[in-house]
Structure 1
Amino acid sequence: MTFRRFLAKRTLIAVVLTLISVSVIFATLRLLPAGPFSGLVASGSLTPEQVEQVRAMYGLDEPMYVQYIKYIQNLFTLQFGISITQQRPVGEIIIPALVNTLVLLLPALVATAIVSSLAGMYAGWNRGSWFEQSSIVVTTVFRATPIFVTGILLLIVFSYGLDWLPAFGMRSPLANPQGYAETYLSVDFLKHYLLPFTATVLFYSGDFLMLARNSVVERKGSEFLMLHRAKGLSEMEQLGRAGRNSLLPLVTYFALRTGMLFQGVITLEVVFAWPGIGRALVQAILQQDYPTVQAAVFIMALAVIVMNLTADVAYAKLDPTVGAGDV
């Protein structure tokens, strides 16, 4: 199979998975026993007649298949509609929240990948050393601990116990930053950023460390390293050669993990009250805000599917036998 056919096949699969994901959330929301306006009727804020008018305004009185077609058209043209609870465009809610999530996750993932991969290579090269044993134990403990538990422990120690760092939010209540530089580079932001950043790094460090360690262990006794050793290369130079040959699984895993991070971000953002897309999704679900829930789930599902596609393409590019052998 040529690379073009491989790419076309994987892209088609990604499109089908996206359609399945958005269809599931469409059906799930509309099968809920209580609609988005039931609370307003119960509280007396709206009469049943007014609710019907609002339902018509949002197109919820139309046949289900008509709602579905419009829903698909709007999602794939990034027309997310108007929030039912906040009465403003969903894009104004979701896009800033997505930026906040990416600001939290991407630097944490890059730092984790670099530091943990280097540590894993060193541990694999020095198999049986105290460094390998202690690094495996520490990272395994944090990987086995749910990320929200790690976050809560960090809050207990550094926010409530030592009172070194703020507990919640992305900035102080009275802060009024102007522009991205003041928003994301200020000292106040960095203080709020440190704990969720640390929780993310601790949780995912074990994956990269073990992957890099295992790759180096597999290559340590290979013929090409024996040749380099015969040429008189130093230990660090041999480790560098082994590390470069271990990049294939690390690169593809990085792409996969970038998409899967959105699964863990929901609980992390709730714990730290971080105004990201995960927290926006939880609030929208509690309020049964259909347009916001649909947009948030669409973006998160799309991120996972696109990064899986990226991992497949990266693997096929780095290892041509993958694309050639995929029938």
Structure 2
Amino acid sequence: MSDFQRFLAKRIGIAIGLTLIAVTIIFVVLRMLPGSPFESLITAGNLTQGQVDEIMALYGLDKPIWQQYLIYLRNILTFQFGYSILQSQPVWDILAPKLANTLILLVPALVTTAVVSTLLGMYVGWNRGSKAETASIIGTTFLRSTPVFITAIFFVIIFSYTLDLVPAFGMRSITATPDGLLDTYMSMDFLHHYILPFTVTVLFYSGDFLLLARNGVVEKKGSEFLKLHRAKGLSENEQLMRAGRNSMLPVITYFALRLGMIFQGLILLEVVFAWPGIGRALVLAIQQQDYPLVQASVFIMALAVIIMNLVADVLYAYFDPTVSVSGGGA
């Protein structure tokens, strides 16, 4: 077995272990919450105690805690998320469209941020000490250090309430009745609602990619291989592209990490903009203590982080073989 194969097997084993730890933490934390998902229904008179007992038996909540855990572990690891307690629908049927709504916001925004900010970071890194470098670093650092929900609220106040340019909340108008997938995500009504959360997401994460690309180019600018290319007569643009290409490894691995972790960052954004994504669904499910819905939502988020961490490690080891030989990681 080669060094890289051993490295890969080790990282996959770690990922499996982290997944088991994550699902266990989810189970324990939910059982520690005060109250139950049925209290409000009993108080409102919608269910009697006998009916509640029957539902708890149906969901296995009347069993000893260790039996609940084994059932939960079997179901969650086989993606059998069961039924929502309060909505009486399959959990996956509830989460699938919300996951799609989150991804339609997440992926284009992250790709746009990575491309634009990386190119800008390469430019300001090559022109170190310029006014463009100073302005871009100050601007992106300020946006990144400001909590995303503060930026979102500020944009809502300015562009929705003050200037009345774009809607403040939701993914479409209340009266809209989209017909099919294309009409759902490509209509003018959707794009009108999409502009504000998309812009806030791009601005919030732009600083990370800009600084990574800028630091990489600054480091490579004085390297021996670039001096050799300069002696061969390469133009400034060709030198910049070579320096940028050789400093892309941190950007690529960070992109993979951020793709997994951005779910958590979008929870507050989805709440502020009332965006019907998985983050907002999780907040509502926690408030209602809908165990199956919370378990599935958190599991999907945790799994995304673990998988993308594994991808980042593998990418780093693949592009830099010394990592796998030394046993290090990204």
Taking structure 2 as the reference length, what is the TM-score of the superposition? 0.97
Q: Which residue of 1 aligns with 2:65?
A: 64
Q: Which residue of 2 aligns with 1:280?
A: 281
1:152-301, aligned counterparts within 5 Å? 152-301=153-302
Q: Which residue of 1 aligns with 2:30?
A: 29
1:93-108, aligned counterparts within 5 Å? 93-108=94-109
Q: Which residue of 2 aligns with 1:313?
A: 314
Shift of 1:78: 1.2
Q: Alignment identity in percent?
A: 65
Shift of 1:239: 0.2
Distance 1:241 1:53 in 2: 67
Please list the CA deviations of residues 65-113 of structure 1 after superposition, one character each: whole Å capped at 9, or x if unmatched. 1111111111122111111111110011111111110100010000000
Distance 1:54 1:17 in 2: 32
Higher mean C-alpha deviation, range 265-274 or range 67-76: 67-76
Q: Which residue of 1 aligns with 2:44?
A: 43
Q: In the alignment, is residue 83 of structure 1 matched against residue 87 of structure 2?
A: no
Higher mean C-alpha deviation, range 61-70 or range 107-116: 61-70
Shift of 1:186: 1.0
Distance 2:310 2:172 in 1: 35
Please list the CA deviations of residues 196-246 of structure 1 after superposition, one character each: whole Å capped at 9, or x if unmatched. 001111110000000000000001011111111111111111001100101
Shift of 1:19: 1.0
Distance 1:260 1:88 in 2: 28
Shift of 1:262: 1.1
Distance 1:33 1:120 in 2: 48
Q: Which residue of 1 aligns with 2:324?
A: 323
Give the superposed CA RMSD.
1.0
Number of positions where the alignment pairs a residue of Structure 1 with one of Structure 2: 327
Distance 1:57 1:284 in 2: 19
Is the partner of 2:88 in helix, strand or coil?
coil
Structure 1 residue runs of 4+, over 6 Å off? Answer: none
Long gaps (5+) in structure 1? none
Is the partner of 1:36 in helix, strand or coil?
coil
Distance 2:180 2:322 in 1: 47
Distance 1:302 1:91 in 2: 15
Q: In the alignment, is residue 138 of structure 1 matched against residue 139 of structure 2?
A: yes
Is the partner of 1:7 in helix, strand or coil?
helix
Long gaps (5+) in structure 2? none
Is the partner of 2:153 in helix, strand or coil?
helix
Higher mean C-alpha deviation, range 272-281 or range 36-45: 36-45
Higher mean C-alpha deviation, range 273-282 or range 11-20: 11-20
Higher mean C-alpha deviation, range 294-303 or range 179-188: 179-188
Taking structure 1 as the reference length, what is the TM-score of the superposition? 0.98
Distance 2:298 2:180 in 1: 28
Shift of 1:41: 2.0
Shift of 1:161: 0.7
